[in-house]
Amino acid sequence: MKNHKGIVLVPSDFEGVDWVEKMAKSGLNTLGLHSGGGVAHNVYNELKFMGEQSFRDKLKANGLDYEYEVHASDVLIDHKLFDEHPEYFPQNIRRRTPLADANWCTSNPTALNMVVENALEMVRRLPSSTHRYFFWGVDRLQNDWCHCEKCSHLNGADQALISANAIAERIAEVDPDGQVCFLAYHGTLNGPKRIKPHERVFLEFAPFFRCYFHAFNDPNCAVNVHNREIFEHLLNLFGTERTHVLEYWLDSSLYGFTQHPPLKPIFDKKLVEEDIRYYTGKGIRSITTFAVRQDGEYMEAHGDQEFQDYAEILNRYL
Ligand SMILES: [Zn+2]
Ligand SMILES: [Zn+2]
């Protein structure tokens, strides 16, 4: 994997900030384009200008790589099929009730095939200059994957990986260099137990529940010890070459979506450097962070020192 260093933003973060210019000046090279959280939404609509070729051209002209990091379940399977085909959708663990707003049942070949076809269409419509494609599932901790009779031996991460593997098997039809993300986050954080990654599948580790008062490798932070153990387990499974870290160092939205002005993240320059030293010391060459809600209102209230510090540190290590 080429060195990637960057941030992940949503369209509204560009209100009052020229992030293209800021990124180009920073020495960072990769912009992740995100359509927002929440269980489900139409990615194509919510990406707004980020989904347009003219925007991709502008990034390219400024020397920046781009990739789409999206909760794509609504695009990957048409949830309107639920009434007629509840068997395409996951069954929950309580009463095995089919879930109308979750991912899909990977043991259902018709459903899985639809997911692959829709993913390939997404690659056509939202090409990535990094050749990395992120088809994240629904954004929640439970009621995401399936516990039907055929799926019940598979954990959520296995099911996410089955889906990523199936897309990876065919992605070269659309992008000969294409690679597919397995996202370790929320219900998939602990990683797969039964399924091995296809050679075109890479790990994206997004430690949403880690602590920012301590470094990631601080042995005296129980929260981070837990996250680090998971990370090192996943690193063994995927290998450093196929591991990408998506952090939250600059993410204002981690602290809330409703406050005005948006809140400053907990950002201690020394700790962030320790984190980056740890990750790169493990051989990781691909690191980005969410910076959602670092928009014009944020900049007016807090300025961009944290972004500048982050870029300066990352540029020393990558
Ligand atoms: Zn199932
Ligand atoms: Zn801590």
Decide if pLDDT at 1 tops 90.
no
Stated length of the chain: 318
What's the confidence (pLDDT) of residue 205?
98
Decide if pLDDT at 103 tops 80.
yes
Tally the C-alpha atoms within 13 A of residue 4's C-alpha that lie toward its C-beta: 26
Question: Is the N-terminal amide bond of 11 cis, ω within 30° of 0?
Answer: no
Mean pLDDT across 180-191: 97
| Ligand positioned closest to the Cα atom of 147 | 1
Label each residue of 175-219 as H, E or C: CCCCEEEEEECHHHCCCCCCCCCCCCEEEEECCCCCCCCCCCCCC
What's the confidence (pLDDT) of residue 106?
98
CA 219 to ligand 2 centroid distance, Å: 9
Please give the angle made by the CA atoms of 238, 243 and 247, to the nearest 5 degrees.
135
- Please say whether the beta carbons of 139 and 39 come within 8 A: yes
Q: How confident is the model at residue 2 (pLDDT cuts 50, 70, 90)?
A: confident
| Ligand positioned closest to the Cα atom of 91 | 1
Phi-psi region of 36 (alpha: psi -120 to 50; beta: other; left: phi over 0): left
CA 159 to ligand 1 centroid distance, Å: 9
Mean pLDDT across 65-76: 97
| Ligand positioned closest to the Cα atom of 163 | 1
- Please say whether the beta carbons of 224 and 211 come within 8 A: yes
Cβ-based burial of 125 (10 A; exposed 0-12, middle 13-18, buried ≥19): middle
Interior/surface letters 25-50, b for 16+ CB within 10 angstroms, e for the rest: ebebbbbbbbbbbeebbebbebbeeb
Q: Which long-range contacts (CB under 8 A, 24 or more apart) does 174-181 make?
A: 174/120, 174/123, 174/124, 175/123, 175/127, 175/128, 175/131, 175/133, 177/131, 178/123, 178/131, 178/133, 179/131, 179/132, 179/133, 180/133, 180/135, 181/132, 181/133, 181/134, 181/135, 181/136, 181/244
What's the confidence (pLDDT) of residue 39?
75
CB neighbour list of residue 268: distance below 8 Å, 6 or more residues apart: 212, 213
The rounded percent of the chain whose pLDDT value lies above 90 is 98
CA 149 to ligand 1 centroid distance, Å: 7
Which residue segments constitute the domains of the chain, with CATH numbers given? Answer: 4-317 (3.20.20.80)
| Ligand positioned closest to the Cα atom of 225 | 2
What pLDDT digit, counting tens, does each position of 296-314 carry?
A: 999 999 999 999 999 999 9
CA 242 to ligand 1 centroid distance, Å: 28
Mean pLDDT across 176-201: 98
CA-closest candidate to residue 234, choices 195, 198, 205, 277: 205
Tally the C-alpha atoms within 13 A of residue 91's C-alpha that lie toward its C-beta: 17
Decide if pLDDT at 275 tops 90.
yes
Please name the residue that has the structure tokens 């390939």.
120
How far is it, in rounded angstroms, from Cα 291 to Cα 29? Answer: 15
CA 161 to ligand 2 centroid distance, Å: 30
Beta strand residue intervals within the chain, DSSP E: 4-9, 30-34, 65-71, 132-136, 179-184, 201-205, 243-247, 286-290
